[in-house]
Structure 1
Amino acid sequence: MIRRICVFCGSSSGSLPVYREAAEATGRLLAARGIGLVYGGGNVGLMGAVADACLHSGGHVTGVIPQALVDKEVAHNGLTELRVVGSMHERKAMMADLSDAFIALPGGYGTWDEFCEILTWTQLGLQRKPCALLNANGYYDPLLEMADKGVSEGFIKAVHREMLLSDVNIEPLIDRILSYSVPIVDKWIGRSAR
Protein backbone atom coordinates (compact mmCIF):
# COMPACT_ATOMS: atom_id res chain seq x y z
CA MET A 1 0.00 0.00 0.00
CA ILE A 2 1.30 3.45 -0.94
CA ARG A 3 0.99 5.79 2.06
CA ARG A 4 3.89 8.15 1.33
CA ILE A 5 5.64 9.09 -1.89
CA CYS A 6 9.08 10.62 -1.94
CA VAL A 7 9.53 13.40 -4.49
CA PHE A 8 13.03 14.29 -5.67
CA CYS A 9 13.24 17.64 -7.45
CA GLY A 10 15.30 20.73 -8.04
CA SER A 11 16.21 23.35 -5.50
CA SER A 12 15.84 25.70 -8.48
CA SER A 13 12.61 26.32 -10.36
CA GLY A 14 14.09 25.89 -13.82
CA SER A 15 13.77 28.31 -16.70
CA LEU A 16 10.17 27.53 -17.71
CA PRO A 17 6.94 27.97 -15.71
CA VAL A 18 5.84 24.42 -16.68
CA TYR A 19 8.27 22.94 -14.15
CA ARG A 20 6.86 24.84 -11.19
CA GLU A 21 3.35 24.08 -12.40
CA ALA A 22 4.22 20.36 -12.47
CA ALA A 23 5.60 20.53 -8.92
CA GLU A 24 2.50 22.32 -7.64
CA ALA A 25 0.20 19.85 -9.41
CA THR A 26 2.12 17.00 -7.78
CA GLY A 27 1.74 18.47 -4.31
CA ARG A 28 -1.97 19.13 -4.77
CA LEU A 29 -2.66 15.65 -6.14
CA LEU A 30 -0.80 13.88 -3.34
CA ALA A 31 -2.89 15.80 -0.80
CA ALA A 32 -6.11 15.07 -2.71
CA ARG A 33 -5.29 11.35 -2.79
CA GLY A 34 -4.40 11.26 0.91
CA ILE A 35 -0.79 10.33 0.14
CA GLY A 36 1.91 11.89 2.30
CA LEU A 37 4.79 13.75 0.68
CA VAL A 38 8.38 13.01 1.68
CA TYR A 39 10.97 15.34 0.16
CA GLY A 40 14.30 17.05 0.80
CA GLY A 41 13.00 19.64 3.27
CA GLY A 42 13.91 22.79 1.34
CA ASN A 43 11.88 25.97 0.93
CA VAL A 44 13.35 26.91 -2.45
CA GLY A 45 12.78 25.99 -6.09
CA LEU A 46 10.60 23.06 -7.05
CA MET A 47 11.17 21.61 -3.57
CA GLY A 48 9.41 24.54 -1.95
CA ALA A 49 6.70 24.53 -4.63
CA VAL A 50 5.73 20.87 -4.19
CA ALA A 51 5.75 21.17 -0.39
CA ASP A 52 3.72 24.39 -0.31
CA ALA A 53 1.12 23.05 -2.75
CA CYS A 54 0.70 19.87 -0.71
CA LEU A 55 0.45 21.79 2.58
CA HIS A 56 -2.02 24.35 1.19
CA SER A 57 -4.20 21.45 -0.01
CA GLY A 58 -4.26 19.89 3.46
CA GLY A 59 -1.57 17.26 2.86
CA HIS A 60 1.02 15.79 5.22
CA VAL A 61 4.59 16.80 4.35
CA THR A 62 7.76 15.32 5.84
CA GLY A 63 11.02 17.03 4.99
CA VAL A 64 14.45 15.43 5.48
CA ILE A 65 17.38 17.82 5.37
CA PRO A 66 21.04 17.79 6.41
CA GLN A 67 22.12 20.22 9.13
CA ALA A 68 24.49 21.91 6.65
CA LEU A 69 21.51 23.04 4.56
CA VAL A 70 19.58 24.12 7.65
CA ASP A 71 22.60 26.30 8.48
CA LYS A 72 22.30 27.91 5.02
CA GLU A 73 18.69 28.83 5.86
CA VAL A 74 17.05 26.79 3.11
CA ALA A 75 14.99 24.56 5.42
CA HIS A 76 11.19 24.85 5.15
CA ASN A 77 9.90 25.84 8.59
CA GLY A 78 6.20 25.27 7.92
CA LEU A 79 6.17 21.52 7.31
CA THR A 80 4.12 18.91 9.11
CA GLU A 81 7.42 17.33 10.13
CA LEU A 82 11.06 18.27 9.53
CA ARG A 83 13.79 15.73 10.22
CA VAL A 84 17.34 17.06 10.41
CA VAL A 85 20.13 14.59 9.65
CA GLY A 86 23.92 14.72 9.63
CA SER A 87 24.71 14.10 5.96
CA MET A 88 23.38 13.73 2.45
CA HIS A 89 23.83 9.95 2.75
CA GLU A 90 21.65 9.89 5.87
CA ARG A 91 19.09 12.04 4.09
CA LYS A 92 18.76 9.61 1.18
CA ALA A 93 18.56 6.59 3.48
CA MET A 94 15.88 8.17 5.66
CA MET A 95 13.83 9.35 2.68
CA ALA A 96 13.95 5.81 1.30
CA ASP A 97 12.92 4.29 4.64
CA LEU A 98 9.99 6.69 5.03
CA SER A 99 8.62 6.21 1.51
CA ASP A 100 6.62 3.60 -0.38
CA ALA A 101 7.36 4.96 -3.88
CA PHE A 102 9.52 7.61 -5.57
CA ILE A 103 8.99 10.27 -8.21
CA ALA A 104 11.66 12.46 -9.75
CA LEU A 105 10.49 15.82 -11.03
CA PRO A 106 12.89 17.92 -13.09
CA GLY A 107 16.11 18.79 -11.31
CA GLY A 108 19.87 18.69 -11.58
CA TYR A 109 22.71 16.54 -10.28
CA GLY A 110 21.24 16.08 -6.80
CA THR A 111 17.87 14.97 -8.16
CA TRP A 112 19.51 12.59 -10.63
CA ASP A 113 21.77 11.16 -7.94
CA GLU A 114 18.92 10.54 -5.51
CA PHE A 115 16.66 8.98 -8.11
CA CYS A 116 19.29 6.80 -9.79
CA GLU A 117 20.44 5.41 -6.45
CA ILE A 118 16.87 4.49 -5.50
CA LEU A 119 16.23 2.95 -8.93
CA THR A 120 19.42 0.90 -8.55
CA TRP A 121 18.26 -0.37 -5.15
CA THR A 122 15.04 -1.50 -6.81
CA GLN A 123 16.92 -3.15 -9.69
CA LEU A 124 19.11 -5.02 -7.21
CA GLY A 125 16.07 -6.19 -5.25
CA LEU A 126 17.08 -4.31 -2.11
CA GLN A 127 13.59 -2.79 -2.11
CA ARG A 128 10.37 -3.32 -4.08
CA LYS A 129 9.10 0.24 -4.37
CA PRO A 130 7.92 1.90 -7.60
CA CYS A 131 10.26 4.48 -9.16
CA ALA A 132 8.90 7.04 -11.62
CA LEU A 133 9.84 10.13 -13.60
CA LEU A 134 7.46 13.03 -14.09
CA ASN A 135 8.64 13.91 -17.58
CA ALA A 136 7.28 17.46 -17.60
CA ASN A 137 7.96 19.22 -20.89
CA GLY A 138 9.97 16.18 -22.03
CA TYR A 139 12.71 17.02 -19.52
CA TYR A 140 13.66 13.38 -19.00
CA ASP A 141 13.49 12.31 -22.67
CA PRO A 142 17.31 12.03 -22.87
CA LEU A 143 17.44 9.85 -19.74
CA LEU A 144 14.67 7.59 -21.05
CA GLU A 145 16.52 7.31 -24.36
CA MET A 146 19.69 6.41 -22.45
CA ALA A 147 17.80 3.70 -20.56
CA ASP A 148 16.55 2.29 -23.88
CA LYS A 149 20.11 2.35 -25.22
CA GLY A 150 21.23 0.52 -22.07
CA VAL A 151 18.82 -2.26 -23.01
CA SER A 152 19.82 -2.40 -26.69
CA GLU A 153 23.52 -2.39 -25.77
CA GLY A 154 23.15 -5.16 -23.17
CA PHE A 155 23.67 -3.18 -19.95
CA ILE A 156 20.07 -3.15 -18.69
CA LYS A 157 17.56 -6.01 -18.82
CA ALA A 158 14.27 -5.13 -20.49
CA VAL A 159 12.40 -6.04 -17.30
CA HIS A 160 14.57 -3.56 -15.38
CA ARG A 161 13.90 -0.87 -17.99
CA GLU A 162 10.19 -1.43 -17.40
CA MET A 163 10.75 -0.62 -13.71
CA LEU A 164 11.41 2.98 -14.76
CA LEU A 165 7.87 4.35 -14.92
CA SER A 166 7.26 7.71 -16.58
CA ASP A 167 4.54 10.02 -17.80
CA VAL A 168 4.27 13.66 -18.83
CA ASN A 169 1.32 14.24 -16.46
CA ILE A 170 1.18 13.57 -12.73
CA GLU A 171 -2.32 12.04 -12.48
CA PRO A 172 -1.73 9.06 -14.79
CA LEU A 173 1.73 8.65 -13.26
CA ILE A 174 0.28 8.36 -9.75
CA ASP A 175 -2.29 5.87 -11.09
CA ARG A 176 0.52 3.75 -12.55
CA ILE A 177 2.48 3.88 -9.30
CA LEU A 178 -0.56 2.80 -7.27
CA SER A 179 -1.23 -0.18 -9.54
CA TYR A 180 2.39 -1.23 -10.18
CA SER A 181 4.03 -4.23 -8.57
CA VAL A 182 7.82 -4.35 -8.82
CA PRO A 183 8.89 -7.75 -10.18
CA ILE A 184 11.50 -9.89 -8.51
CA VAL A 185 14.23 -10.64 -11.06
CA ASP A 186 17.89 -11.48 -11.05
CA LYS A 187 19.91 -8.39 -11.92
CA TRP A 188 22.94 -10.00 -13.53
CA ILE A 189 23.06 -10.07 -17.31
CA GLY A 190 24.77 -13.03 -18.98
CA ARG A 191 24.83 -15.14 -15.83
CA SER A 192 22.92 -18.42 -15.89
CA ALA A 193 20.61 -19.29 -13.01
CA ARG A 194 22.20 -21.49 -10.35
Structure 2
Amino acid sequence: MAAIKANHDLAKSLKEGNSFVFKDWELKSGIYKMELIQKAINDMWFANRCDEGILYAKYFDPLPVKLMALVLMVMECCVDEWTTGVREDVKFSSVSYGPVYLAHLNSLQQFEERTAPYKLLDRILDNLLDMARLHAGGINPFKTAESVDAFANDIFDEAIREYEVKMQAARDGRPEGVEAGDAAGDA
Protein backbone atom coordinates (compact mmCIF):
# COMPACT_ATOMS: atom_id res chain seq x y z
CA MET A 1 0.00 0.00 0.00
CA ALA A 2 2.87 2.39 0.75
CA ALA A 3 4.31 1.90 -2.75
CA ILE A 4 0.92 2.44 -4.36
CA LYS A 5 0.41 5.65 -2.38
CA ALA A 6 3.94 6.83 -3.29
CA ASN A 7 3.29 6.15 -6.99
CA HIS A 8 -0.03 7.98 -6.84
CA ASP A 9 1.50 10.97 -5.04
CA LEU A 10 4.41 11.09 -7.50
CA ALA A 11 2.11 11.00 -10.53
CA LYS A 12 -0.06 13.70 -8.99
CA SER A 13 3.01 15.88 -8.29
CA LEU A 14 4.36 15.41 -11.82
CA LYS A 15 1.00 16.36 -13.35
CA GLU A 16 0.56 19.42 -11.13
CA GLY A 17 1.66 22.39 -13.21
CA ASN A 18 3.18 20.02 -15.77
CA SER A 19 6.12 19.52 -13.44
CA PHE A 20 7.29 16.58 -15.55
CA VAL A 21 8.74 18.98 -18.16
CA PHE A 22 11.32 20.36 -15.70
CA LYS A 23 14.81 19.02 -15.12
CA ASP A 24 14.20 19.54 -11.40
CA TRP A 25 10.47 18.96 -11.15
CA GLU A 26 10.32 19.79 -7.43
CA LEU A 27 11.95 23.21 -7.81
CA LYS A 28 10.45 23.73 -11.28
CA SER A 29 13.77 24.68 -12.80
CA GLY A 30 15.23 23.69 -16.13
CA ILE A 31 12.02 23.97 -18.16
CA TYR A 32 11.93 21.57 -21.13
CA LYS A 33 15.21 20.03 -19.98
CA MET A 34 13.85 16.85 -18.38
CA GLU A 35 16.19 13.99 -19.31
CA LEU A 36 13.25 11.87 -20.45
CA ILE A 37 12.59 14.35 -23.27
CA GLN A 38 16.04 13.64 -24.67
CA LYS A 39 15.66 9.91 -24.12
CA ALA A 40 12.32 9.85 -25.93
CA ILE A 41 13.72 11.74 -28.92
CA ASN A 42 16.80 9.50 -29.00
CA ASP A 43 14.78 6.27 -28.81
CA MET A 44 12.09 7.31 -31.27
CA TRP A 45 14.02 9.05 -34.06
CA PHE A 46 17.76 8.80 -33.32
CA ALA A 47 18.36 5.23 -32.13
CA ASN A 48 21.17 4.66 -34.66
CA ARG A 49 22.66 5.94 -37.93
CA CYS A 50 19.83 4.37 -39.94
CA ASP A 51 16.99 5.93 -37.95
CA GLU A 52 14.64 8.59 -39.31
CA GLY A 53 16.32 11.50 -37.55
CA ILE A 54 19.56 10.82 -39.39
CA LEU A 55 18.20 9.58 -42.73
CA TYR A 56 15.69 12.41 -43.03
CA ALA A 57 17.81 15.07 -41.34
CA LYS A 58 16.25 17.93 -43.30
CA TYR A 59 12.96 17.33 -41.47
CA PHE A 60 14.62 17.36 -38.06
CA ASP A 61 16.89 20.38 -38.44
CA PRO A 62 15.78 22.47 -36.73
CA LEU A 63 13.97 20.14 -34.38
CA PRO A 64 10.26 20.94 -34.88
CA VAL A 65 8.31 22.48 -32.01
CA LYS A 66 5.46 20.12 -32.93
CA LEU A 67 7.76 17.16 -32.32
CA MET A 68 8.52 18.49 -28.86
CA ALA A 69 4.78 18.89 -28.17
CA LEU A 70 4.26 15.30 -29.29
CA VAL A 71 6.95 14.04 -26.91
CA LEU A 72 5.44 16.01 -24.02
CA MET A 73 1.97 14.63 -24.79
CA VAL A 74 3.32 11.06 -24.71
CA MET A 75 5.17 11.75 -21.46
CA GLU A 76 1.96 13.06 -19.92
CA CYS A 77 0.14 9.91 -21.01
CA CYS A 78 2.83 7.81 -19.32
CA VAL A 79 2.37 9.77 -16.09
CA ASP A 80 -1.40 9.31 -16.40
CA GLU A 81 -0.89 5.54 -16.39
CA TRP A 82 0.26 5.81 -12.76
CA THR A 83 -2.41 8.15 -11.33
CA THR A 84 -4.05 5.31 -9.41
CA GLY A 85 -0.71 4.26 -7.95
CA VAL A 86 -0.63 1.08 -10.04
CA ARG A 87 0.25 1.20 -13.72
CA GLU A 88 -2.89 0.90 -15.81
CA ASP A 89 -3.21 1.22 -19.56
CA VAL A 90 -4.71 4.51 -20.60
CA LYS A 91 -6.66 4.83 -23.82
CA PHE A 92 -4.42 6.85 -26.09
CA SER A 93 -6.47 8.44 -28.83
CA SER A 94 -6.73 11.72 -30.65
CA VAL A 95 -9.98 12.42 -28.83
CA SER A 96 -8.45 11.98 -25.38
CA TYR A 97 -4.93 13.32 -26.02
CA GLY A 98 -5.47 15.76 -28.89
CA PRO A 99 -6.29 18.56 -26.43
CA VAL A 100 -3.21 17.63 -24.37
CA TYR A 101 -1.04 17.92 -27.49
CA LEU A 102 -2.55 21.31 -28.34
CA ALA A 103 -2.01 22.54 -24.77
CA HIS A 104 1.67 21.58 -24.91
CA LEU A 105 2.05 23.12 -28.37
CA ASN A 106 0.43 26.32 -27.11
CA SER A 107 2.72 26.40 -24.05
CA LEU A 108 5.80 25.90 -26.24
CA GLN A 109 4.70 28.70 -28.58
CA GLN A 110 4.06 31.02 -25.63
CA PHE A 111 7.47 30.13 -24.19
CA GLU A 112 9.06 30.86 -27.56
CA GLU A 113 7.30 34.24 -27.82
CA ARG A 114 8.06 35.24 -24.23
CA THR A 115 11.75 34.31 -24.48
CA ALA A 116 12.23 35.44 -28.11
CA PRO A 117 15.01 37.95 -27.36
CA TYR A 118 17.05 35.10 -25.84
CA LYS A 119 15.98 32.41 -28.33
CA LEU A 120 15.70 29.97 -25.42
CA LEU A 121 13.43 27.47 -27.14
CA ASP A 122 15.69 27.45 -30.21
CA ARG A 123 18.69 26.77 -27.97
CA ILE A 124 16.87 23.98 -26.13
CA LEU A 125 15.77 22.36 -29.40
CA ASP A 126 19.26 22.74 -30.91
CA ASN A 127 20.78 21.08 -27.86
CA LEU A 128 18.26 18.22 -28.01
CA LEU A 129 19.06 17.73 -31.71
CA ASP A 130 22.83 17.81 -31.14
CA MET A 131 22.58 15.24 -28.35
CA ALA A 132 20.25 13.06 -30.42
CA ARG A 133 22.65 13.08 -33.36
CA LEU A 134 25.51 12.23 -31.05
CA HIS A 135 23.46 9.38 -29.58
CA ALA A 136 22.72 8.01 -33.05
CA GLY A 137 26.37 8.09 -34.01
CA GLY A 138 25.42 10.12 -37.06
CA ILE A 139 26.93 13.53 -36.57
CA ASN A 140 29.12 14.62 -33.72
CA PRO A 141 28.21 18.27 -33.16
CA PHE A 142 31.29 18.75 -31.01
CA LYS A 143 33.83 17.31 -33.40
CA THR A 144 36.03 19.88 -34.99
CA ALA A 145 37.67 19.48 -38.34
CA GLU A 146 41.07 17.88 -38.13
CA SER A 147 43.88 19.98 -39.50
CA VAL A 148 45.99 18.68 -42.32
CA ASP A 149 49.65 19.48 -42.37
CA ALA A 150 50.54 21.61 -45.35
CA PHE A 151 52.92 20.02 -47.82
CA ALA A 152 56.33 21.55 -48.22
CA ASN A 153 57.20 22.93 -51.65
CA ASP A 154 59.68 20.10 -52.27
CA ILE A 155 56.75 17.63 -52.35
CA PHE A 156 55.11 19.69 -55.07
CA ASP A 157 58.44 20.01 -56.92
CA GLU A 158 58.84 16.22 -56.83
CA ALA A 159 55.35 15.75 -58.25
CA ILE A 160 56.21 18.13 -61.08
CA ARG A 161 59.49 16.28 -61.74
CA GLU A 162 57.68 12.91 -61.84
CA TYR A 163 55.18 14.31 -64.31
CA GLU A 164 57.90 15.81 -66.52
CA VAL A 165 59.83 12.48 -66.57
CA LYS A 166 56.64 10.63 -67.49
CA MET A 167 55.87 13.08 -70.30
CA GLN A 168 59.45 12.93 -71.64
CA ALA A 169 59.33 9.11 -71.62
CA ALA A 170 56.08 9.21 -73.59
CA ARG A 171 57.63 11.58 -76.16
CA ASP A 172 60.72 9.37 -76.47
CA GLY A 173 58.63 6.19 -76.79
CA ARG A 174 60.15 4.63 -73.67
CA PRO A 175 58.09 2.56 -71.23
CA GLU A 176 57.09 4.46 -68.14
CA GLY A 177 59.69 4.26 -65.38
CA VAL A 178 62.64 3.66 -67.72
CA GLU A 179 65.05 6.60 -67.60
CA ALA A 180 66.83 7.93 -70.69
CA GLY A 181 70.05 5.96 -71.21
CA ASP A 182 68.64 2.90 -69.42
CA ALA A 183 66.60 1.62 -72.36
CA ALA A 184 67.93 -1.42 -74.25
CA GLY A 185 70.33 -0.44 -77.02
CA ASP A 186 71.18 2.96 -75.53
CA ALA A 187 74.32 1.73 -73.78
TM-score where L is the length of structure 2: 0.22
Q: Which has the larger radius of gyration?
A: 2
More helix, by proportion: 2
